[in-house]
A and B are shown apart, each in its own frame.
Chain A
Amino acid sequence: MRNAIEITPQLVKEHGLKPDEYERFVALIGRTPTLTELGIVSAMWNEHCSYKSSRLHLRTLPTKAPWVIQGPGENAGVIDIGDGLACVFKMESHNHPSFIEPYQGATTGVGGILRDVFTMGARPIAALNFLRFGEPDHPKTRHLVSGVVAGIGGYGNSFGVPTVGGGMGFHRRYNGNILVNAMAVGLAKTNEIFYAAATGVGNPIVYLGSKTGRDGIHGATMASAEFDDASAEKRPTVQVGDPFAEKLLLEACLELMQSGAVIAIQDMGAAGLTCSAVEMGAKGDLGVELDLDRVPCREEGMTAYEMMLSESQERMLMVLKPGMEAEAEAIFRKWGLDFAIIGRTTDSLRFVVKHRGEVMADLPIKELGDEAPLYDRPHRANTYQPTIAPESVTPPVSNGEALLRLVGSPDQCSKRWVWEQYDHLILGNTVQMPGGDAAIVRVLDGPKGLALTTDVTPRYCEADPVEGGKQAVAEAWRNITAVGGLPLAVTDNLNFGNPERPEVMGTLIGCIRGIGEACHALDFPVVSGNVSLYNETNGQGILPTPTIGGVGLLDDVTVHATLAFKREEDAVVLIGATRGWLGQSIYLADLCGREEGAPPPVDLAAEKRNGDFVRNLIRSGQVDTVHDCQDGGIAVALAEMAMAGGIGAMVTAAPEGVPLHAFLFGEDQGRYLLACDVDQAADILYEANALGIPALMLGLTGGRSLILPGNETISVAQLKAAHEAWLPDYMAGKAA
């Protein structure tokens, strides 16, 4: 092999490899690598593909349950939902690209996760997203919000999948690193799921989809590099999404899978051809030989290095049954997509790349993955914050005023401006659209339904990683429960700063521990996920943000709950214990300007007990109106139920021993608000009592106002005005 270019330490550095990592590679292959080989290993061994900082800790997550068909390790997780159907889902981040070019960064993020799902043989039926931006008055924020939201819609709407849920928030710690986490959910037959592992020696390896250009070269490396002010220079790596091509790719792939020609399939995501080809070979204990002269290229004179690292979108790699090439090609031509046989599987366990008759790379295929660096990075448990006594927090002049400010604040305000740009109704199965606790999507023609949600409370994770990790899982579980769903499994997207800093690593480990404990206790295994590290600019890291995407099942989708008050004179019942926990609450942060104290602890046993109780009430048809209490506590939850239903409520109960503002705005976990007729409520209180579940009758629905204890009256119309106004006004340029 020729070394056209000398491999200097500088070049190694530019590839994001640490000197010892490079030494490890040289030792592994016993010679100096070619430039192409250096490119390949830099892609395989970077954080994004190798999980070198997180792998060790991810192993501790519970990933098994009788209904789990495929856990972490494939393109997406797969769970059994009965009737021979499987739900296939995963969440993935596109944070760094979206900061550099918000529209294209978001589109390609959505495109990538949709591909992960249909690569497994599933037809996408829903998409969700979880977004975090810098402070509203940061000069970049508006531009980033409008670009990211337009991009998510632009891709999903054209592809034809309903975007049914997500989350969005603002915080100064995201000023230099926004978060764009996209989740896709698909349906497949349990006996028709496709995997990445190649089988059979000498089988054709086929390239499908769009042509290869110089897009995103070093994208994978960029996604693992900390920003500095020169990052703007990384711009030429921006990839452009083509939802039209993806839609054709979806239809062509599913048609081809039906034909029985597909042995293995892998989408070309981060570090495109390199990662996909190596994964297919390594997982199947086979070698792979590629002839790059056959790769469909969009641009003249592309080098082997460029082809191997290109992140052009809407591309797939498949291993086909020999003899079925012609049939497969016909299907792809019909959909107007490229199809080329670019290599074959071998028994050599080597990854061989040829270009213009020359061998450009010849590497041991399994070691590229298995021998990737694995770090147990030094970590420091962060210093825990003291518990804040409710009495020590000054009450507002007026609870009504405080509530009005909270429902109209950037984080609590209505996100209608966002989800109206997403087609959330296509496919005609959206039973609960954005704005509920969890989205509900009917499965085919029913009777089943899926409950979907994405959650995490970064300020909790910052204050106490373990409790914060637990809370993220508990909140997802609670949101699914609140609509009547049985939580089945999660995908997680761990967004953190620079893992080479012990306090960041400590936070990551703490969150993973909390997630693991909660998933274990709630029987809510992790089946897929993604890690995004180095979300840090000039030494300032983001808030730790382990986003949890939860999936639950409704056996009869017609039996579910929504949060809107539906009738006057309904009793409003609170389930769960209230200590008036104000530490790290929205009240303390937004109204007192104090991001302080320990976050509310999560009692997983109580979570489960309270949630199972509420779910049974919904499933047995006793209640149809449920909302969980989270940011802003009981008060904000009540306001949301009133605004959604256009019906007010009068809250008379105010328990002994808890200051009123702490009772109203405290963020104690494991709580739900229910509304049902008064006789029903009596039974529910009785049942709860018998089971030792804290339950309290708060008051009655009715009228056009929310009346808080102490006769503070605030009209639903006023709440709604404040709630709906902030985001459109902000995006229209009004000062934050």
Chain B
Amino acid sequence: MKAAVVVFPGSNREGDVLKALAQAGAEVQKIWHAETALPSGTDLVVLPGGFSYGDYLRCGAIAGRAAVMDAVRAHASRGGKVLGICNGFQILCESGLLPGILMRNANLKFICHRQTLRVERADTAFTRAYAEGQVIDVCVAHGEGNYTADTDTLARIEGEGLVAFRYCDAQGHVTADANRNGSMNSIAGIYSDSLNVLGMMPHPENLIDDLVGGTDGRGLFQSLMAA
């Protein structure tokens, strides 16, 4: 699988996701935000975590309008896979590739901690290596992860089963305590209508190593390889 990781000024987790992709066996390539085309044969585009453009104005707002995003849009509309993690999720929302917006965390603070997620469906290109309802351990590191959408949008996302992950406790219960950033319906990640675009706040790429917290994050990248 050929993966292209887009680097914006202020991206800072591109190295982490490159590592995770390479570990899963992907052929990886970095591309600069000013590019207008993706490398030919790109299967997966990754928008990594970080603070693109300092997260100034709104998280992901400026990056969401970068030159390369037209190419990413085209890729997505061709059914190509796109993964946005953390700042990447914010960029996907700002660029209109995913609905809704990520607001300040409920406590208005940046929070970094380990977090358990419930895998809502295991039949997509991103999650087939997991089981439906499986509880996975990931890490969270954001100040604006509070997923918000208007009632209709939310109803549609839920109705069409486009929720990818929810914050839950260790037993898989979706509780208020487990939803530390205050996201609507405890949403941690969502898919596009045709399930080829995934945006998520937590960082599976930081849980790929027994020495550093565990390997629950690997499944996502292995799923993409199998695709």
User: Which A residues are within 8 Å of any B CB, using their own CB?
Assistant: 150, 153-154, 157-160, 242-245, 247-248, 335-336, 419-431, 442, 446, 557-558
Contacts and interface: CB of A to CB of B under 8 A. Distances in A.
A428 B19 contact: yes
Interface residues of B, number: 30
B213 interface: yes
Contact of A336 (B9, B16, B55, B139): B9
B contacts with A: majority SS: mixed
Given A157-B141, A244-B54, A428 B205 contact: yes
Given A248-B9, A425-B213, A428-B16, A243 B112 contact: no
Closest 8 CB pairs between A and B? Answer: A160-B12, A244-B54, A158-B51, A423-B141, A423-B112, A425-B139, A428-B16, A425-B206
A425 B203 CA distance: 10
Contacts of B172: none
Contact of B51 (A157, A420, A424, A427): A157
B105 to A, nearest CB: 11
A287 B100 CA distance: 59
Contacts of B212: 428-431, 442
B20 to A, nearest CB: 8
A429 B209 CA distance: 9
B12 A159 contact: yes
B55 A158 contact: yes
Contact of B12 (A153, A422, A426): A426
B67 to A, nearest CB: 14
Contacts, number: 82
B110 A153 contact: yes
A421 B211 contact: no
A128 B139 CA distance: 20
A419 B12 CA distance: 19
Contacts of A429: 212
Given A244-B54, A247-B51, 16 more contacts: A157-B112, A157-B141, A158-B10, A158-B54, A158-B55, A247-B12, A335-B9, A420-B112, A421-B109, A421-B110, A423-B110, A424-B112, A425-B139, A426-B49, A446-B211, A557-B211
A416 to B, nearest CB: 9
Nearest to A242: B54
A527 B74 CA distance: 54
A322 to B, nearest CB: 29
B224 interface: no
B50 A558 contact: no
Contact of A244 (B51, B109, B113): B51
A12 B169 CA distance: 64
B80 interface: no
A420 B111 contact: yes
Interface in B145-198: none
B60 to A, nearest CB: 14
A718 to B, nearest CB: 20
Contacts of B109: 150, 420-421
B10 A427 contact: no
Contacts of B141: 157, 423, 425-426
Interface string B93-135: 0000000000000000111110000000000000000000000
A337 B87 CA distance: 23
A424 B203 CA distance: 13
B15 A243 contact: no
26 contacts: A150-B109, A154-B110, A157-B143, A158-B10, A158-B54, A160-B50, A160-B51, A244-B53, A244-B54, A247-B10, A247-B51, A420-B109, A422-B112, A425-B141, A425-B203, A426-B12, A426-B141, A427-B15, A427-B16, A428-B19, A428-B205, A428-B206, A430-B212, A442-B211, A442-B212, A558-B211
A420 B55 contact: no
Contacts of B218: none
Interface in B195-227: 203, 205-206, 208-209, 211-213
A80 B19 CA distance: 26
Contacts of A335: 9
Nearest to B49: A426
Contacts of A424: 112
B35 to A, nearest CB: 13
Contacts of B54: 158, 242-245
A248 B9 CA distance: 7
Contacts of A430: 212
A425 B51 contact: no
Q: Which of B19, B54, B143, B211 has the most CB of A within 10 A?
A: B211
B81 interface: no
Contacts of A242: 54
Contacts of B213: 425
A428 B209 contact: yes
A336 B62 CA distance: 14
A428 B12 contact: no
A725 B95 CA distance: 41
A244 B110 contact: no
A429 B205 CA distance: 12
Nearest to A251: B9
